[in-house]
Homo-oligomer: A and B are copies of this chain.
């Protein structure tokens, strides 16, 4: 007659469910805009339980966005064919297509990531992985000279800012933007080469 006050789940099940809830909410709101209470509520669970599964908010956040990062990683995986520039263009295309489908999520993700040093690592590390292949093939070295390293970091910032502008205005096609980013990449490398002769590139 008396129904249970709560249903007990397997650890894996519950964990999955909590990550899903977080992933859904963090896709629409930034880190600070969502409280642990709201996430718990969305999952139909007490806040204390959330803390039983995750030591703190940041860890839950990292686990939640890891989901989206996984999607992105898969999408931007280069096919390994063509010139480095071709591969870059290919990766960027997948990247931009995903953002086109998930504009809000991307905006909130960038917003959260820049604010939280620990979340920045997640984003940076996944981007670095994609970039690394291309850089190694392009420069033949794993640890680039300072001018090149700074240039590449700058280019990553360029991408973020340009995409943010694109999402806000939407007056370029995805292909146009992709070409712009690729051209900016090539141009930035040239600029680095010009500023520091130590920077050598395998592609003219």
A: residues with CB less than 8 A from B are 32, 111, 114-115, 117, 146-147, 149-151, 153-162, 164-166, 169, 171-172, 176-177, 179-181, 183-184, 186-188, 190-192, 194-196
Contacts and interface: CB of A to CB of B under 8 A. Distances in A.
A71 to B, nearest CB: 23
Dominant secondary structure at the A interface: helix
A184 B154 contact: yes
B184 A172 contact: no
A153 B157 contact: no
Nearest to A169: B146
B154 A159 contact: yes
A147 B172 contact: yes
A183 B194 contact: yes
Contact of A158 (B117, B161, B194, B195): B161
A116 B185 CA distance: 29
Contacts of A187: 184, 187-188, 190-191
Nearest to A154: B162
Contact of A161 (B32, B153, B180): B153
